[in-house]
Structure 1
């Protein structure tokens, strides 16, 4: 079995695969101060809840956008499971991830994993919209190359900024208000935040299509994908587990590589 971990700025998503099948998935808060021991304490009850024995996990793949947690998770995995995690990057994804980009090493691990999974599932070209702390858009062109994209504040990030700066506007549920004209303060805020995110994404995707000179499938992922994507006019598919799937594919490629190459690439990552 494979443990795949996607460490985001706000939430960490973990999944256990049996071959190509995702058996279990959990979403926990990301705490940037956690040590490897604390991460092991968080991981054990998740395994226990599904009857998973840690030593039955024979591989691990990690994507992290929180540098201070990357080594902590690697140590936690090594001590609890007894394996060295494959750390996702443009380098470790070589063969699955091609980039026409000035500095591929700066591309976030989550963006790499998203691009790998989207290209595998939908072919090329393809566009990924990842709704998380940031709303990321990844563009894979007709050649199959990652050529860049968009990074914008996520829907909850934008909402929290509004709540914290506008003293008379309290936190609300970010759900579809079913009307663009809000009939009370809560509906007005929902229309502005939810529909504003939908129209921002649709507008950016259409600009991307114009720059490319052609259209492409658009797949949504991330914790807020299902909440926003259903209102979109450009998103064609929703895959909440896209990042984990990309990690699985990267791990399988690394597992087929000579051991010395795995060690070298993981050290550099």
Structure 2
């Protein structure tokens, strides 16, 4: 079985895959100081709860946007799973698609993995929106080439900035408002409206501008932990792919293993 590790700015996601299918997944807060031993204790217990053992893992692939987290994850693989981890974007696991942008070296692993899986699963031109620490919009053309995109603050970052800068505003949970009204009658409702419907308006507005600039049919794919928060309140998404980054890791592993 393959252990795919997606180390993001907020969480590290561990997914166990067999035959390209996700059998189990777990997440833990990203902390570059966390040692391989700490990961192993936590992960061994979770594997056991799902009926697996460490010996069931025969391969490990890591994709990370947090360079300081990489070493301990590599040690985890070699010490506790007895295999050298494949690193997404390096060696045999290079991205393998054209980067038609001015600074290709700046492309994050999570964004590249989304594009690999998105292009494999959906033909034609794509806009891939990933709702994570940042919200990213990627344009992948029908040949699989990366043409550029957008990076916007994630909804949690936006809310944190608002609450931190405005002393009298309370911290609220990010949920869809109970009403479709965009005129709030109290402070909390007004915050919900501003954060939620403001974010929906940003998504729809940016996608509309991208489509107008592309000038031909394009499919919009949503992924990331918060994608489901918006799915029922906008028709801008053509598909929701919760495991797109993990699927990209699995596809890259298969390519690197040939």
Shared fold, TM over 0.5: yes
Contact 1:198 1:229 in 2 (8 A): no
**Deviation at residue 193 of structure 1 after TM alignment:** 0.6
User: Following the alignment from structure 1 to structure 2, what is the Cα–Cα distance between the partners of residues 254 and 69?
Assistant: 22
Q: 1:219 aligns with which of 221, 224, 227?
A: 221
Instruction: Give the stretch that moved more between structures: 33-42 or 60-69.
Output: 33-42
Structure 1's consecutive aligned runs of 4 or more residues displaced over 4 angstroms after TM superposition are none
User: Following the alignment from structure 1 to structure 2, what is the Cα–Cα distance between the partners of residues 73 and 185?
Assistant: 44
**Deviation at residue 219 of structure 1 after TM alignment:** 0.8
Which 5+ residue runs of structure 1 have no aligned equivalent?
Answer: 257-269
Q: 1:181 aligns with which of 180, 183, 192?
A: 183
**Deviation at residue 90 of structure 1 after TM alignment:** 7.5
Which 5+ residue runs of structure 2 have no aligned equivalent?
Answer: none
The one-character-per-residue Cα deviations of 1:198-256 (angstroms, maximum 9, x if unpaired) are 11111111111122112311111111010023322321111111100000000000011
Q: Call closer, same or farther: CA 1:94–1:175 in 2, change over 3 Å.
A: closer
User: Following the alignment from structure 2 to structure 1, what is the Cα–Cα distance between the partners of residues 41 and 163?
Assistant: 33
Q: Call closer, same or farther: CA 1:226–1:90 in 2, change over 3 Å.
A: farther
Contact 1:12 1:29 in 2 (8 A): yes
**Deviation at residue 142 of structure 1 after TM alignment:** 2.8
1:4 has 2:4 as partner: yes
How many residues are paired up?
255
User: Following the alignment from structure 2 to structure 1, what is the Cα–Cα distance between the partners of residues 160 and 189?
Assistant: 16
Contact 2:131 2:154 in 1 (8 A): yes
**Deviation at residue 190 of structure 1 after TM alignment:** 1.0
Contact 1:128 1:137 in 2 (8 A): yes
Q: Call closer, same or farther: CA 1:147–1:250 in 2, change over 3 Å.
A: same
Residue in structure 2 matched with residue 266 of structure 1 by the alignment: none
Residue in structure 2 matched with residue 52 of structure 1 by the alignment: 52
The one-character-per-residue Cα deviations of 1:130-175 (angstroms, maximum 9, x if unpaired) are 0010001111013321111111110011111111111111111111
Contact 1:15 1:25 in 2 (8 A): yes
Q: Call closer, same or farther: CA 1:199–1:113 in 2, change over 3 Å.
A: same
User: Following the alignment from structure 2 to structure 1, what is the Cα–Cα distance between the partners of residues 27 and 183?
Assistant: 34
Residue in structure 1 matched with residue 200 of structure 2 by the alignment: 198
User: Following the alignment from structure 1 to structure 2, what is the Cα–Cα distance between the partners of residues 46 and 62?
Assistant: 19
Residue in structure 1 matched with residue 100 of structure 2 by the alignment: 100
Residue in structure 2 matched with residue 254 of structure 1 by the alignment: 256
Q: Call closer, same or farther: CA 1:94–1:6 in 2, change over 3 Å.
A: closer
User: Following the alignment from structure 1 to structure 2, what is the Cα–Cα distance between the partners of residues 12 and 183?
Assistant: 39
Contact 1:197 1:228 in 2 (8 A): no
